[in-house]
Every structure is written in structure tokens, then in C-alpha cells.
Amino acid sequence: MKTKTNTHTMNHETTTGPKYSQIKLGIDVHADSYRVVRQLEDATPQPAQKFTPQGFLLWVQKQVLLARTVHSCYEAGPFGYTLHRQLLALGVRNVVVRPQNWDEHHRGVKTDQTDALALVQRLDRYVQGNTKALAAITVPTPEQEQARTVSRRREQLQKDRQTHEAQGRSLLLYHGHRIQGQWWREQAWHRLQAQLPAWLAAVLASIRAQVQHTDAQLTEYTRQLEQAAQPQAKGFGRLTSEVLRREVLDWHRFTNRRQVASLTGMCPRVRASGLSHQSGSITKHGNPRIRRLLVELAWRVVRFQPQYPPVQRWREQLAAKHPGGRKKAVVAIGRRLAIDLWRLATGRVTAAQLQLA
């Protein structure tokens, strides 16, 4: 009799409208299972539940019927944004957040359950208006994600080629042959092959085949990126500019220069208390690929755009013999470049106004 009453009550709830105004879900995502902590309204979060990926989506559909609004969050990671898009399709307001250590008090207890609990507690504050409770990240569109995958695949191929090259040099060094440079290129290979015993040349030839295969793919990806790039100012480089554009995703998502500079991680650390104020090295917060590209771009601008105002401002440090001063100047120029590229992309200024040829 009790079971029949509960069934009737559930049917009444789902047919007459939502029972709750808000449900919040903290999700700890793994390949084979999800740990989820649910919070109804402002009540105490419930114990963690374990779901398979398919079972979780079916359960979420029921939550959408129980509440006017369902909020959720999970950490960005190796599983991409498929779950995010699935939740949006079900009507859930999901947030993907930057990974962090949720054991803030250093209790030495970190499990899937405690992570999911910490997520839903932060989500509760985030939903109430405290936007700093969670470090939400920008989720790329499928088109942006596909474009970025191409440039990142090229980066991986570059690393693979370097690895294979190093394997060949290591093999030769082990057998008493020290070489430098790209030994696998045609001319260098013919000279090297004549100096090696047949058995060692045969082993090295298999490594060379891997290097050549990787290099061919790398060349093709490079060609695709350069063809997709827009015309650039002198020295900017089509490849560097196109990869940078794909990593940024969309310049229009920034509303001020501080947001742009923060993404680069090229802002100085600050420690201030009372009358004490100290600035340190850069924070390295944000996208490390963007930071590397901006440093590369800054060195080119120093060479090809000497009239660019930041280059003029830091010319004394750039001319100094101390490498630390030059590096500091290049980082500052790179940070300013990011801001000016944002201003260019959003139509705030022109290249002529920035004194870029």
C-alpha cells in the first residue's frame, strides 16, 4: 500500500509541474562512471551517487522534470565537452570549470565523493551570484574545437618528429657515433650511411622511416594552416598568427584588456599587504600555448616592426647584454601584442594606428 502511494505521488509531481525551483548537481567525471552530488533548493547536499554515463543522462532527464531549473558543473579534462553539450541539450545549465585541488584545508582526504561535494557547494554559491566561486572556462563551439584540433595535432606531430630524431641520435651515440642536426635528411643520410656498419644502418633506417612519415604529415598540416590564415603585418607570420587565432577561439569574448592579459599568463605576480607591495615573475596563468606563441611573435616584431610603440619603449632593455633584461622586455611586448591583436580583431583600432607596417 505504501509503495502505491509513493508511485501515485511521483506521478502527480511529474504531471502537475516541477516540485523544486532549483536542483544543483556536482559531477566528478570518469571514463566509466560519474560520481554525482545533488542539492535540492538550498538544502544540505545529498550523499554522492554513482552512475554509468548512459544511466546518468537518463537520471538527469528526471531531474529536469522535477525542477524549473537544473544547474550542474564538472571539471574540464581529457573527456572534452561532449557531456557539456549533452546536458545543454537536455535543458540543464551546465558550467565547465578549471580543475583544481578541492581539498582546500589540506585534510589529506580526496575522493570522487569529496570532489563532487566540493563542486556542488561551489556551484551553489555561483548560482546565487558569486561568479568567483567557480573558475568557469569558455567552451568552444564544435567548429572552433575542430579548428583547434588541427593546430594541436600539428604541434603533437612536431614533438613526435623530435622524439624519433632523438632516438636515432641516441642509438648512434650508444655505438660510438656522435651526430648533430637532422641526420635523416637525404644528403645527411647518404653521408651517414656510408660510415655505419650494415646492421646499424638497417636499424637506423627503420627510425628514419618513422621520422619521414611524421615529417610528411607535419608538412601537410602546416600547409593547411598557412592557407587558412589571413594576410598579416610584416613579420607576424601566417602560421603563428593562425595557430594563435585558433587557440584564442574568439577575440570578441573579451570585454576589456585585463581579461586579454590574464589569458596570456604574462602578467606579473603581486604580493601586497598593508604598505608592502612586491611584484614578481609572471603568473603563467592561462593557456600556455598562447603564451609561447606570443613570445615567438614578440621576437619577430622586435626584428621586423621596430617602430611598434612597445618595441620603442623597451629598446634599451632589448639592446642590453644581460639576457634577463631582454626576456623581460619580450614578455612585456608579447602581453601588449595580445591586447593590440584583440583591439585589431574587434575593430577598435587599425594597423596604421598601431604603427604596424
- Would you give the end-to-end CA distance of the chain in angstroms? 83
pLDDT value of position 94: 98
Contact between 95 and 72 under an 8 Å Cβ cutoff? The reply is: yes
Compute φ and ψ for 152, nearest 5 degrees.
-75, -30
156 or 286: which leads in pLDDT:
156
- Alpha-carbon distance 193 to 240, whole Å? 36
Contact between 24 and 71 under an 8 Å Cβ cutoff? The reply is: yes
pLDDT in tens, 41-67: 999 999 999 999 999 999 999 999 999
Q: What residue type is assigned to position 353 of the chain? A: Q
Domain boundaries, the chain: 12-133, 142-228, 238-272+281-345
- Alpha-carbon distance 240 to 227, whole Å? 12
Nearest to 25 by CA among 78, 91, 82, 79: 91
DSSP output for 64-130:
HHHEEEEEEEEE--TTTTHHHHHHHHTT-EEEEE------TT--S---HHHHHHHHHHHHHHHHTT-
Average pLDDT over residues 113-118: 95
Structural element, H or E, at residue 36: strand 34-40
pLDDT in tens, 232-284: 899 999 999 999 999 999 999 999 999 999 999 999 888 888 888 888 889 99
Average pLDDT over residues 210-219: 98
Q: What share of the chain is helix, strand, coil (3-state, %, to 5)?
A: 55, 15, 30
- Alpha-carbon distance 335 to 337, whole Å? 5
Going 346 to 349 to 352 to 357, the CA torsion angle's sign is: negative
Mean pLDDT score of the chain:
92
pTM (2 decimals)? 0.86
Structural element, H or E, at residue 25: strand 20-29
Query: Is pLDDT at 3 greater than 90 in this prediction?
Result: no
Beta-bridged to residue 73, according to DSSP, are 26, 95
Q: Which residues contact 119 (CB under 8 A, 6 or more apart)?
A: 26, 27, 28, 37, 73, 74, 75, 97, 102
pLDDT value of position 11: 44
Query: Is pLDDT at 108 greater than 90 in this prediction?
Result: no
C-alpha grid cell, residue 173:
651515440
Report the percentage of the chain scoring pLDDT > 70.
96
Q: What residue type is assigned to position 35 of the chain? A: R
pLDDT in tens, 186-197: 999 999 999 999
pLDDT value of position 107: 86
pLDDT in tens, 123-182: 999 999 999 999 999 999 999 999 999 999 999 999 999 999 999 999 999 999 999 999
pLDDT in tens, 324-335: 889 999 999 999
Query: Is pLDDT at 6 greater than 90 in this prediction?
Result: no
At the topology level, CATH places domain 12-133 in: Nucleotidyltransferase; domain 5 (3.30.420)
Nearest to 246 by CA among 355, 142, 313, 148: 148
pLDDT value of position 16: 61
pLDDT value of position 320: 86
Query: Is pLDDT at 9 greater than 60 in this prediction?
Result: no
CA–chain centroid gap for 258, Å, is 19
pLDDT in tens, 16-49: 678 999 999 999 999 999 999 999 999 999 999 9
